[in-house]
Copies of this chain bind each other. A is one copy, B any other.
Amino acid sequence: MARYASSISRLIAELGKLPGIGSKSAQRLAFHLLAQPEEQVYALTDAMVDARRSIRLCSVCCNLTDQDPCAICSDTGRDASIICVVENPRDVAAMERIHDYKGLYHVLHGAISPVQGIGPDQIRLRELLKRLQQQDHVQEVILATNPTVEGEATALYLARMLKPAGILTTRIAHGIPMGGDLEYADEVTLSKAMEGRREIG
């Protein structure tokens, strides 16, 4: 990093904190930004600040939203008797892309992982249970956590918790390759996985 002007070094350091951006990529991005018209840089920084300021968690489903309840939760055309539980907001977007599912969501913002010290209290599980207690019209909870060790553990944990409540609890089919990531699944696989869901627990 020798001999860069200090503001360039600082920019490279900040860009390098982003996930998946190594020091070479950070340099490349920094010099790209310096070569852009100022408006272009401001468009990017405004988008960052604006998103960070306006986005919060939906008080119903915990998805990221700029209105509360979020657009999906407040859409009366959707089937409020089904809740699809996913790990993160990107999974909601992936699910929405298949245009098949018309129910609601619940975003956990993570999965149970004893190794990483993430227990049931570190993810948005309590919000889901509270929601199920308050809304007695829910007939099915689809567990769409990732088919990873953590996702499976979270699904099992949830299935056991929901069994006494008498709500049908299903798990999306493992049409998604094991060890894969929901957000990278193609639409057909994701669609198959939804179709082949079965009762769990």
10 A/B residue pairs, CB under 8 Å, sorted by A? A3-B96, A7-B47, A7-B51, A7-B66, A14-B43, A24-B183, A30-B51, A31-B89, A34-B55, A42-B49
The answer to whether B55 touches A49, judged by C-beta atoms less than 8 angstroms apart, is no
The CA of A2 and the CA of B2, in the complex, are separated in Å by 44
A163 in the interface (beta carbon within 8 A): no
The CA of A43 and the CA of B32, in the complex, are separated in Å by 19
The answer to whether A50 touches B7, judged by C-beta atoms less than 8 angstroms apart, is yes
A129 in the interface (beta carbon within 8 A): no
Choose among A5, A38, A64, A88 the residue with the greatest number of B CB atoms under 10 Å from its CB.
Answer: A5
Among A67-75, A111-119, A138-146, the one that faces the other chain is A67-75
Among A15-23, A149-157, A164-172, the one that faces the other chain is A15-23
The CA of A50 and the CA of B8, in the complex, are separated in Å by 9
Q: Which 9 A-B pairs have the closest CB atoms?
A: A45-B45, A5-B66, A11-B51, A14-B47, A7-B51, A11-B47, A3-B96, A14-B44, A2-B96
